[in-house]
Structures are given as structure tokens and as C-alpha cells.
Amino acid sequence: MRLLLLAPPGAGKGTQGERLADWSGGRHIAAGDLLRAEARAGGRLGREIAAYQTRGDLVPDQIVLDVLTPSVVEAAAHGGYILDGFPRTLPQAVAAAELAVRLGVTLDTAVYLYAPEAVLTQRLLDRASQGGRSDDVADVIQHRLRVYAETTGPLVPYYTERGILVAVDADQPPDSVTAAIQARVSGLTRAAGR
Ligand code: ADP
């Protein structure tokens, strides 16, 4: 299975990504985690990535592609993947589609998780109070939500036009979200005769 999760900060991409990877046998590829690991590794590239992440700005597309492509290529050859947080811009989506064609493995489904902005903000603030990430502070959270709306939001019509978008309400308990995604994805797979 080759699936991507498209969702604003706080919608639960990471939680659902791990569960879906266990369920499908594919690999969970979390863009934010891979970029944070690269940032921790230091060096010039690491410091550059850390600066973008701390501000809540997107890391430039070429850096993201350089960091993520090897993992995607490897996962594509071994049981598929759940992409969490990639692609996140139209140029990344186009590059990912070109890569998929080159590998002969196209994306099955784009799962869009949606929730009201007040719910997302509250979840991120709750995570911050439990010792969360350095980008979980009020003004950076607001900035991340704005960047999402402007830059990642356009991927919803992009994947809708390609006929692979499934929208799931993320404003419900994690188990219900997982069940809703699984029901929709299984239904699609059956309908496609796969
Ligand atoms: P969230 O979705 O809650 O913001 P992530 O861990 O997915 O959490 O992303 C954290 C940060 O990592 C983003 O604010 C951005 O700086 C960077 N990032 C993650 N994925 C991408 C991507 N595909 N393109 C550019 N930057 C990214």
C-alpha cells in the first residue's frame, strides 16, 4: 500500500501514520521526524533545517527531496509506505509523482485529515505543556497553521482532481479516526479490485 497523509499541524498525522504502517505492513515515513533527525546531526545542512523548523517555516523543497527520496525509494521496494507530511507543497507533489512514475509505483490514496482550527491549536498547546517540541509555542503554532493553509491546502484539490483523495474527520478520538481511515481505504481497494 502506498498512502499519504495530508493534514494540518495537530491533526494527528504522526499517530495515524504509525498505526497505518503497522496495519498495512508499509513503512511510516515522517517528513518532520527525518528533517529533525538531520537537524540534530548538525553541520551546515542540519543548522539550516533547524532554523526553518524553529520558525515554523517550510524547509526548502530541494532539501526535503534530498533528505526524503532515499527512504521513499527503499520503502517502495519493500512493502510500500505511509508518507506523513510529504509532499507538503505543489512542487513537492509534482516531484513525488515523477519519482513514483520512475519507480513504477504510483500513489494509491491521499488521506486528508481535517479538524477545526481551534481544536488543532488546543492539541498543540496541550502537547507543548507535556514537554513537546520547540515549535509548539503559541505564535509559531499560528504561523504553522497559516503556512499550512497557504502552501499545503492547495494539495487537497490537487489530489481530488487525481481521484485519490479520501477526507476523514480528525476531530474524534484516535481509534475512531484510525477505523474511519481503514474503512475508507479498504473500500477503495475493494472498489479498484486490488
Ligand atoms: P506539524 O505538521 O505538526 O507541523 P511535522 O513534524 O510534520 O509537524 O513538521 C514540522 C516542521 O518540519 C514543519 O514546520 C517544517 O518546518 C518541516 N517540514 C516537515 N515536512 C516538510 C515538508 N514536506 N516540506 C517542508 N518542510 C517540512
- Measured from the CB, is residue 17 less than 6 Å from ligand 1? no
Binning pLDDT at 50, 70 and 90, where does residue 186 land?
A: confident
- Residue 161 Cα to ligand 1 middle (Å): 24
User: Strands of 109-114's sheet, edge to edge?
Assistant: 27-30, 81-84, 2-6, 109-114, 165-169
Bridge partner residues of 25 (DSSP): none
Alpha carbons 150 and 167: distance in angstroms, whole number: 19
- Residue 95 Cα to ligand 1 middle (Å): 17
pLDDT of residue 104: 85
Q: How far is CA 153 from CA 8, 33, 163, in A?
A: 8, 21, 16
Q: Which of 5, 13, 16, 35 to mutate to test the pocket of ligand 1 (most atoms within 8 A of CB)?
A: 35
Binning pLDDT at 50, 70 and 90, where does residue 194 land?
A: low
Alpha carbons 60 and 114: distance in angstroms, whole number: 25
pLDDT of residue 130: 87
Backbone angles phi, psi at 164, to 5 degrees: -120, 10
